[in-house]
Amino acid sequence: MKREMIIAGNWKSNGTLALRAEINNLLNDTNIEQGITVVVCPPVTLLEGMISDNKNPSISFGGQNLAEYGQGAYTGEVHAQMLRDIGANYVIIGHSERREYFSEKAEILAIKMLKAIDAGLKPIFCIGEPESIRENGEQNQYIESQIEEIIAITGIDVWAESILAYEPIWAIGTGKTASLDQVQEMHAHIRDTFSKHSDTIAALLPILYGGSVNQNNAAQLFTAVDVDGALIGGASLKQDQFAAIISAANAEANSN
């Protein structure tokens, strides 16, 4: 069974109304092959406007975070139903920047996942090892424990509705991309780890690669059998680069 391919852009804390208009225009005119979903995750200030101005049914939108709480007196928070209410379908959870700067641990991330699923949002759940772990050759154990600690709380079933993004921390925003072999090996390891809980979920789980994906390396990364797309930071803010990455996904879809 062929898995869907997902090209997701994480704008992080970047983006203005001008950029929103630019990327909306680009996406409205972009051909996207069947079996590919493009997901744009702008900052929450731009999300509703982007969704309203979108005319391309192959584009979906997501939040970059959600509250661990529901509706109520939680000043500054945006909860899952609020994202759904404006038409978002996805939400990024567990990005290494949130783990590092906002001290988000598995317990909180699991609550966020369950809240997202309950509201009908698909989590894009991020994992990835720091450079020191990779240098010591301990990345497989590290990633396995990141997966096991979250499944221990959420259970396996919610993963049938989720997407996983492997983002080695040393490759995020550094221009250092993991090699094709490193990516394929890790994605296969991630799938094996899930298959200890459910072969079906493991086989269907979209696993995205993130970490300095750009117009020069995307096509090659998409050839790996266990790479089902990308989670893109910097290059998703540049019209020409994001368009080139979508073209690489289209070419890969057409070659199958």
Active-site residue set: 95, 167
Smallest separation, CB 198 to ligand 13P (Å): 26
Residues 121/62, Cβ–Cβ less than 8 Å = yes
By CB under 6 A, residue 234 contacts ligand 13P:
yes
Compute the Cα dihedral for 177, 8, 188, 169 and give only its sign.
positive
Q: Which is nearer to ligand 13P, 83 or 169 (CB)?
A: 169
Q: Which residue is nearest to ligand 13P (CB)?
A: 233
List of residues 6+ apart from 92 with CB closer than 8 A: 8, 10, 41, 62, 63, 64, 65, 123, 124, 126, 165, 231
* Helix, strand, coil percent values for the chain (each to nearest 5): 50, 15, 35
Binding letters toward ligand 13P, positions 90-119, x by CB under 6 A: -----x------------------------
Smallest separation, CB 155 to ligand 13P (Å): 25
Q: Running DSSP on this structure, what letter comes out for residue 156?
A: S
Query: What would the two tokens of residue 69 be?
Result: 């709480």
- C-alpha to C-alpha distance for 64 and 44, rounded to whole angstroms: 8
By CB under 6 A, residue 210 contacts ligand 13P:
yes
Smallest separation, CB 74 to ligand 13P (Å): 25
Q: Which is nearer to ligand 13P, 3 or 238 (CB)?
A: 238
**Which position among 50, 110, 158, 213 is part of the footprint of ligand 13P (CB under 6 A)?**
213
What does the binding site for ligand 13P look like in residue numbers (CB under 6 A)? 10, 95, 167, 172-173, 210-213, 231-235
